[in-house]
Structure formats: structure tokens, C-alpha cells
Amino acid sequence: MPNIPTSNPKQFFQAAPLLTVPDVMAAASYYQRVLGFQADADTLTADYGVVWRDNAAVHFAVGANVATGVRIFFWVRDVNQLYEDVQALGAQLLEPIGTRPYHVRDFSIRDLNGIELVFGQDWD
């Protein structure tokens, strides 16, 4: 298991995937409605947008070729609560919550563009 990230990193302090999607506004809306992300309305356009929650950000750019085989992992503080929240909001569940042999408790959903999103936390 790698060292737990620090709040005072030496170099890299955040990764933010950039996803090509057919409809930036629909993608941003999904992340806001189902996952609790936020965005500045004046920065969302038909061509590009960014949503974020705490230190996690996802960028969207309009494009005809949606990525396939992509999984994005988000480390979260309370995976059990998030699991309940996204289920209540109608997320498409791919893998139910569970504690894995590698000491991570996680679950996964599929967003409206087919991207697999995995949410987890260290678990002993």
C-alpha cells in the first residue's frame, strides 16, 4: 500500500481527468445531481466544463469519442455514506459496496456516458 497522500505535497497535489463527452452540460449535471459535485455556472459551456467536490475535479470537453474501458477511482472519507447517497439518487450500480482483500472498501457506478467511477477508502 502506498503512503497516504499528504495535504502538503512536494509536487503533485491533484489529478483531474479530462473526459470527452457528447454533451458537456448533461455530464456536468449528472455529476452535480448524483455525486454532489459543483460548478460555477458561468464556466460551463457547450464545449468545456469543470465540476469538483472537495479536492476532486473532473473536466469535460465535447467530443464524439467517449472513452471506453476507463475507470476513475476517487478516495473518499466515508464510503458507506456516499454509497447510500448515490443509491438514493439513482446511480447505476456496477459493483456493490464491499471490503476487498486489498484492504479497501469500495463500490462502483457507471455515469451517463459509460465511465466507471469507483469510490473507496482504506479499510482494516
**Whether the predicted pLDDT of 95 surpasses 70:** yes
Q: C-alpha cell of 102?
A: 486489498
In a domain, residue 111? The reply is yes
Which structural domain range is residue 107 located in? Answer: 18-122
CATH number at residue 26: 3.10.180.10
CA separation, residue 96 to residues 7, 48, 123 (Å): 30, 32, 16
User: β-pairing, 116-122 with 71-75?
Assistant: parallel
In a domain, 12, yes or no: no
Q: Is the pLDDT score of 6 beyond 50?
A: yes
Burial class (CB in 10 A: 0-12, 13-18, 19+), 75: middle
Do the domain assignments include residue 63? yes
Q: What ranges make up the beta strands (E) of the chain? A: 18-21, 48-53, 56-62, 71-75, 92-99, 104-110, 116-122
Q: Is residue 7 part of a domain?
A: no
Average pLDDT, stretch 4-30?
86
Instruction: Give a yes or no: residue 9 inside a domain.
Output: no
Q: Is residue 11 part of a domain?
A: no
Q: Is residue 32 part of a domain?
A: yes
User: Is 104 inside a domain boundary?
Assistant: yes
How large is the average pLDDT for residues 85-92? Answer: 94
pLDDT band for position 3 (cuts 50, 70, 90) = low
Condensed to tens digits (0 to 9), the pLDDT of residues 34-81 reads: 999 999 888 899 999 999 999 899 999 999 888 888 899 999 999 999
Number of domains in the chain: 1
d(CA 124, CA 72): 23
- Contacts with 108 (C-beta within 8 Å, 6 or more apart), sequence order: 71, 93, 94, 95, 116, 117, 118, 119
